[in-house]
Amino acid sequence: MHVIDRHVYANRGRGVDPAHKAALVLLVLALCLLLDRPMVGLLACAWMWVLSSLWAGLPTGVFGRVLLAQGSFLVLAVAGVALSAGTAFPAGVSWVVHVGPLAVWASFGSVDTALHLATRALGGTAALDFLVLTTPLVDIVELLRRLRIPSVLIDIVALTYRFIFILLESLDRMHNAQDSRLGYSSFGNAVKSAGLLGSRLFVDSYQRSKRLQIALDSRGYSGDLQGLTPSYRTDRSLWWLGAAATATLLIGRVLI
């Protein structure tokens, strides 16, 4: 959360119209899903890395680290698709490993399916990562507003985002208060303290929501969390890069 947050407010792509970035991202996402080739997914990852590091000027490692974290979940998820286990294995499997009485096997077919799944998902994830790493929540909210999403939903998104940080802060403070009085000195204490902290956090959030309501009312709240419409710039280079990425993905589909 904090890693993303640090970079999202300090990158060159920040002021660019979020609709343009979102259009590019959706296009790449759609191509990954429709073309369904491992190469397309990998090319999409490469392009998104280029866009975030060279176009938006994020440190080169950031995009990689975020994608790696998500990729490792993905590998675990598709491992189940590629591998099967049992006491007896069917005919026609390509690889078998015996672990005691258990057999673990995979076939060309299952590995191929897993590879398709993984790369397709990774390409789409990379595309969304690019949006998330270069677009602050305010701009995403503005985009949702333009898409005519009901304002109740948008307000929930906006408030939730703010409250995540407020809750994290309270959590930190309460944890420190407990820790400083030996609340986590033994396993038993830690379990008890964590339970107290959880219930306390719940009460805290409830009271805070009441205070928030008061503060909103005092500034004339009438059921809509209004804000100024931000102004954005248009960056033509994003369009050319988007076109080049699309072309590359299509060529990737044809050639490989």
Partner 1 sequence: MTPILQLEEVRYTYPGNAEPALRGANLSLWGGKKIAVLGRNGSGKSTLFLHCNGILRPDGGQLYLAGKPVKYDRGSLLGLRRHVGIVFQNPDDQLFSASVVQDMSFGPLNLGLSQVEASRRVEEAAEQCEIVDLLDRPTHALSGGQKARVALAGVLAMEPSVILVDEVMASLDPWMRDQILSILHDFAARGRTVVLATHDLALARTWADLVAVMEGGRVLAVDTPDVIFSSEAMLAHLGPRSAWFYPPLRSASEAALAPQGDRATKPVAPAVPAPVDGPLCEPLTVPTERNPHSNGSGNVHADLGKMTQR
User: Smallest distance from the beta carbon of 22 to partner 1, in angstroms?
Assistant: 18
- Residue in the structure block whose two tokens are 């000195």: 185
Give the residue with the Cβ less far from partner 1, 36 or 155.
155
Minimal distance, residue 13 CB to partner 1, in Å: 14
Residue 114 vs 158, nearer CB to partner 1: 158
Among 3, 4, 5, 59, binds partner 1 (CB under 8 A): 5
Cross-sheet strand order for the sheet of 95-99 = 84-86, 102-106, 95-99
How far is residue 246's CA from residue 40's CA, in Å, rounded to a whole number?
A: 10
Cβ proximity to partner 1: between 5 and 179 the closer is 5
Q: According to CB under 8 A, which one of 44, 58, 74, 141 is a site residue for partner 1? A: 141
Residue nearer to partner 1 on the CB measure, 161 or 184: 161
Q: Is 171 in the site for partner 1 (CB under 8 A)?
A: no
Of 194-223, binders to partner 1 (CB under 8 A) are: 208, 211-212, 214-222
Choice between 88 and 228, CB closer to partner 1: 228
d(CA 95, CA 112): 13
Nearer to partner 1, 8 or 126 (CB): 8
Pick the piece of the chain touching partner 1 (CB under 8 A) from 20-28, 50-58, 137-145, 172-180.
137-145
183, 36, 200, 237: which is closest to 122 by C-alpha?
Answer: 36
Question: C-alpha angle 121/122/125, rounded to 5°?
Answer: 85
Among 203, 228, 254, 255, binds partner 1 (CB under 8 A): 228
What is the per-residue binding string for partner 1 in 89-128, x denoting contact by CB under 8 A?
A: ----------------------------------------
Q: Which of 95, 161, 184, 232 binds partner 1 (CB under 8 A)?
A: 161
Structure-token pair, residue 220: 């004339």
For binding to partner 1 (CB under 8 A), which residues are involved? Answer: 5, 9, 136-138, 141, 158-159, 161-162, 165-166, 169, 208, 211-212, 214-222, 225-230
